[in-house]
Amino acid sequence: MSEPKQLRARVAGRVQGVGFRYYAEREARRLGLTGWVRNLPDGAVEVLAEGDEESLQRMLSWLGEGPPSAAVDQVQSSWAEAAGNFADFRTRR
């Protein structure tokens, strides 16, 4: 089994006020990921997720689409080794 990875992503577009965080949390939990999602002051959404690389790639693909109510314009992502600091996946306020 490969070492857990960490994905950090910034999602821009119409992603606040459309349930993006709720659906992102649901998708991350479905994929067995840990970490968090939060709104940023500039209108974007930030995601930090940890888990196996295949599940993280699926999450990244999902972030590019988002829920039906969202309109994703851009996803910026970076990868690192997992820190292992999270017990589950949550929405941060």
Residues carrying an active site annotation: 21, 39
Burial class (CB in 10 A: 0-12, 13-18, 19+), 34: buried
For residue 30, the tally of other CB atoms under 10 A from its CB is: 13
